[in-house]
Chains A and B, each alone.
Chain A
Amino acid sequence: MVVVARKKRGSDASVSFYADLLQASLKRLTGAGKAEDAWARFFAPDDIVAVKVNSITGRRLSTSPALVTAIARGLRSCGVPEHNIIVWDRMTWELEKAGFAVNFAREAPLCFGTDAPSVGYESSPTELGAVGSCFSRIVTQHATALINVPVLREHALAGVSIALKNYYGAIHNPNKYHSDGCSPFVADVSTHPDIRGKTRLNICDAVKVQFHGGPGYKPKRVSHFGGILVSTDPVALDTVGTHEIDKLRKSNGLRTLREEGRYPAYLSIASDERHALGVSDRSRIDVINMELA
């Protein structure tokens, strides 16, 4: 199931804006009556939850710090202490540039990159299909649970960069894996046992959508969407996200990714028997569209 939750008006991208969307989505996703019960389906108070954001584009089109604050509140509501929450990406300076408050202390959610002192990557590569990479120790050693919080963006080489590709930020050598539409590499990265086993939620920040010219920020290719996409299945979320990007491409006079021969092949690879990361056939995905007042 993928929940696409949007707000008709008031999309000021504030913490309460995101909190409303999150609560509604998670309740729908779990069937729980209360938001804290929904969070508790995924996380326990002793979890160390690492929230993987996407901060590569600075403030203009990165995961919103307000969304992450809303996520942290949700985690606290089910008993996860603040100091058990790590907001992270590849580089500390990229997080700062995207508006996150870097924090190594213990009073608030921690926030730093894999490059931070005493963090780093595993000292030898893990080989997964066509990929051989050192993974962030935040994924392999620090976290007991992961939340993947990408943005909704077209990508010139990958087709799209949403949930699956966001984990390129967990490897030391993403530059090696951009040929052939990033396939099968994007799918292979997510087969890492710690990514597969620890990722409990995917929450895509889709207040703004870049439908062309990504990953660099192109203001003329960015459209307001005013929502979030939430799923436990990263492949389904990416499939639905890709469909939304294509709708925006069409309405802006562009050809769809498939018409351009750039539809991400890694989606069907991710759902094959070997990868088994989720569902890429849109007709088999339960898409719940919610429009909040």
Chain B
Amino acid sequence: MKAYDAPCKRRDFLKKLGLLSGIAAGSVAVPGLPGFGPPGPGPSGSALAQAGSEGSFRPQDAALKEALFYKKHAEMEVECELCPKNCKVGDIERGYCGVRENRSGVYYSLVYARPCAVHVDPIEKKPLFHFLPGTSAFSIGTAGCNMDCKFCQNWEMSQARPEQTRNYLLEPRELVQNARQTNSASIAFTYSEPAVVAFEYMLDSAREGNKENVRTVMISNGYINREPMLEALKHLGAVKIDLKAFTEKYYKEICDATLKPVLDVLLLLAKSGVWYEIVYLVLPTLNDSDSELTSMSRWVKRELGPDVPLHFSRFYPTYKMKRLPQTPNSTLERARNIARSAGLNYVYIGNVPGHEGESTYCPACDRPVIRRAGYSILERNISNGKCVQCGQKIPGIWR
């Protein structure tokens, strides 16, 4: 693996990573990526301040990867069919996500093998609670996103263009090697919206990973068209979808996107057999009404079934939402109660370390099958995917 602007020796990198990977909680940041570090996956400094100090990223220097899922039109225009934005892009222009560029009528990804954030995270941080719990996920993120959520915690990378972030050069095969050498059970495409905007990279990495039994997980906003999603599902180990709210108004005003395609993706997932979980970030007064939470929970139960894990996460003021207070515990607890009353079996509370809502409870005997605090697992009462106390099958991918 090479840092795009500041090469570091791979062996040094792995050595440091190996030393650090014993830390149980939180991310392990990759040395040599200043500005990207704990406590969260997002950059702690300003990624937008300038490009790497050793020289600016020149997109024309990158080994470009031709994009998948696009159409060519007259006058060298292209139409991207990857996500519901369906951008029409003229020559020398980019799509909405800022990481796909039309060069003389051919559409290219500018972030193939160029993550700007690389960490080893607990899989619980994604969060995926029913997928290989207690394992590490080799987690990468690239610049770019096909939404513009006003509350984005990682906006300095998600709303940046690849020339505004410091990027590593990490080819799919090398990515898999790094995952294996850090004892990571999976590779997570995460942090911004790499799942959609770095689609080609994710697919090639998943193919490589599957050869080595390293599974790829897609941490996504679910704003992707049907055909590419079906293609991705052939290769993915698990998916986490951010369901931002349950109204078109919220999607339009807060995220610059639409709800319907996300629901369609969830319906596809329900039929696919690929493990998936849902996160709902609760924003006080904007998506936390009883009626919205009830409609959403009932829809999940009816269309997806009672066993889909649903995580209600706490919001912290940031980016363009600095005036809203953080979500009170009571709101998260109310949301959890509503979802449980609607018949959902696995409803969690996120971003509140130590809360009882972080643990998995057996829907039959109500005892904890996995007790968690933050990203750590304190107790496991599950064996072969069953509650050790009553034998109830707990859905998920347990090994």
A positions within 8 Å CB-CB of B:
56-57, 91-93, 113-121, 123, 125, 127, 132, 134, 155-157, 172-173, 175-176, 178-179, 213-218
Contacts and interface: CB of A to CB of B under 8 A. Distances in A.
B179 to A, nearest CB: 31
B56 interface: yes
Chain B's interface: helix, strand, loop or mixed, by majority? loop
A217 B49 CA distance: 31
A155 B75 CA distance: 12
B161 A173 contact: yes
Nearest to B87: A178
B336 interface: no
Contact of A116 (B50, B87, B91, B319): B50
Interface in B46-75: 46, 48-51, 53, 56-58, 60, 75
Contacts of B319: 125
Nearest to A155: B90
Nearest to A92: B56
Lowest 6 A-B CB distances belong to which pairs? A216-B91, A120-B50, A175-B98, A120-B49, A123-B46, A115-B56
A123 B155 CA distance: 11
Nearest to A94: B58
A56 B91 CA distance: 11
A44 B36 CA distance: 43
Contacts of B148: 132, 173, 176
A231 B77 CA distance: 33
B164 interface: yes
Contacts of A91: 56, 163
Nearest to A134: B48
Contacts of A113: 56
Given A115-B164, A123-B49, A156-B90, A176 B56 contact: no
19 contacts: A56-B92, A91-B163, A115-B50, A115-B164, A116-B50, A120-B46, A120-B48, A123-B49, A155-B90, A157-B88, A172-B160, A173-B160, A213-B76, A213-B91, A215-B93, A216-B92, A216-B104, A217-B91, A218-B75
B48 A93 contact: no
Given A115-B51, A116-B50, A127-B320, A215 B90 contact: yes
Contacts of A172: 48, 159-161, 164
A141 B124 CA distance: 43
Given A91-B163, A116-B50, A125-B319, A175 B91 contact: no
A68 B18 CA distance: 54
B75 A156 contact: yes
B356 interface: no
A123 B48 contact: yes
